[in-house]
């Protein structure tokens, strides 16, 4: 019996060494970017970004991205501070998250191949969780590097997240005639294994 158990243990160990468990994927911060646009006074559109966000992707396609809202970067310090305090309320809601499951067509893409599709998930921001979809193009650059990029912007509505009041406050303090409450969001991210 002991010999049979030892043989079975050796066989299981050998299989484990021959076929190591695949590792989850991590977001490469150096090659990833997350942008959004705002339009003020009906005709001035500006591109902004978040400097700090992180993410992971499991081998079964579970995606989790966390955005540090205090890292909002509009290229104007006072506007960054106002957005942190008056719009996002980072003291209470420090992060935004997006959770989704990537379709098999993206998870099983061959190295050197590009696929397009839609990723449906839940965007959580300012205490609200809203179903949100992104149209993306995914490509497996190498066996351990995957790139996912939006193929068109996703329109995020401030009203859906209880942010309309914050937008109005920003408009008033900046003396603007308008700020749009629908914001196009784009990203380009790289995951490594």
2 occurs within a structural domain: no
CATH of the domain at 87: 2.40.128.110
3 occurs within a structural domain: no
Total number of domains in the chain: 1
Mean pLDDT over all residues of the chain?
Answer: 89
How many C-beta atoms surround the C-beta of residue 10 within 10 A?
A: 10
Q: Is the pLDDT of residue 109 over 80?
A: yes
17 occurs within a structural domain: no
14 occurs within a structural domain: no
Query: Residue 71: its pLDDT value, please?
Result: 98
5 occurs within a structural domain: no
16 occurs within a structural domain: no
pTM of the model: 0.85
109 occurs within a structural domain: yes
What average pLDDT does the segment 59-81 reach? 96
11 occurs within a structural domain: no
Tokens of 128: 């609200």
Tokens of 99: 């959770």
How far is 38 from 45, CA to CA, in rounded Å?
6
Q: What is the span of the domain harbouring residue 103?
A: 22-192
146: β partners? 140, 191
């Amino acid at each position: 019996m002991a010999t049979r158990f030892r043989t079975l243990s050796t066989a299981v160990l050998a299989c484990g060494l021959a076929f190591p468990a695949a590792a989850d994927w991590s977001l490469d911060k150096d090659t990833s970017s997350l942008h959004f646009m705002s339009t003020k006074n009906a005709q001035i559109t500006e591109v902004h970004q978040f400097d700090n966000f992180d993410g992971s992707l499991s081998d079964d396609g579970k995606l989790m991205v966390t955005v540090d809202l205090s890292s909002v970067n509009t290229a104007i310090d006072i506007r960054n501070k106002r957005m942190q305090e008056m719009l996002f309320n980072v003291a209470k809601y420090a992060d935004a998250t997006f959770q989704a499951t990537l379709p098999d067509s993206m998870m099983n893409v061959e190295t050197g191949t590009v696929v397009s599709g839609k990723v449906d998930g839940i965007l959580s921001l300012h205490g609200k969780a809203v179903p949100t979809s992104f149209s993306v193009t995914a490509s497996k650059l190498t066996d351990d590097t995957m790139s996912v990029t939006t193929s068109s912007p996703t329109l995020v509505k401030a009203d859906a997240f209880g942010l309309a009041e914050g937008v109005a406050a920003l408009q008033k303090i900046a003396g603007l005639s308008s700020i749009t409450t629908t914001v196009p969001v784009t990203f380009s991210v790289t995951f490594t294994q």
